[in-house]
Amino acid sequence: MKKNLLSIIILALLIVNLAMTGFMMLSVMTTNSQTAKLISDIAAALELEANGGESGGFSGSASGNVAVTDMATWGFTGDDNQIRITLKPSASDSKTHMMVLECVFSLNTASPDYATLGTDERMESMRDLVKAIINDNLKVYTEEELQDANTLELARTEILEQVQELFNSNFIYDFKFSSVMFTAY
């Protein structure tokens, strides 16, 4: 009789153990799936910000693989198209500093958006808005800050991203300063 009672207690404990293991696995699996979803969402967001992602974002997504035959340029070059920007006052002197620059945007003519957004008429109609983006991004710096290559690269990247957002496309895949000159008066 003691052996039967002991067998019944062992069977009951086995069933309780099985039920608790099932409950534990269920709770761990739901937590694990929620954690995996959160991690994949974070990874997708970081990839989007870091390099444009596979299917989203603008900057970086078309720059590395544009053939020379598919390149075109548009920008502010020549005496008539130079951009003059009054810079933030420097702490070292009381002079007003200006930046005179020429810049060029690289366009991907093989991009589907180029046919509609990259036409001469469309680009000319956006000239003042693009010029305003350049001005707004550079006028917050002093001359000393802009003479630092890292700051100028940061400003260049910000300008490119904002112009890509303006056109809602990455057919404009690069932006370079072709001439930069500082003056004070």
117-135 pLDDT, tens per residue?
888 888 888 889 999 999 9
Gap between the Cα atoms of 184 and 21, Å rounded: 76
Q: What is the mean pLDDT of residues 90-114?
A: 87
In percent, how much of the chain has pLDDT > 90? 22
Domain identity same for 147 and 85: yes
Domain identity same for 47 and 73: no
Domain identity same for 130 and 85: yes
Residue 114 within a domain: yes
Confidence band (pLDDT; 50, 70, 90) for 32? Answer: confident
Residue 57 within a domain: no
Residue 109 within a domain: yes
The rounded mean pLDDT for the chain is 83
**Which of 11-15, 60-64, 112-116, 123-127 is the most confident on average?**
11-15
Split into its structural domains, the chain has a count of 2
Residue 56 within a domain: no
Residue 53, pLDDT score: 47
Residue 61, pLDDT score: 44
Residue 86: give the domain boundaries. 63-184
| Of the candidates 84, 165, 142, the residue with the CA atom closest to the CA atom of residue 175 | 165
Domain identity same for 45 and 69: no
Q: What is the mean pLDDT of residues 88-94?
A: 80
**Which of 14-18, 30-34, 51-55 is the most confident on average?**
14-18
Residue 48, pLDDT score: 55
Q: What is the mean pLDDT of residues 125-150?
A: 89
Domain identity same for 35 and 73: no
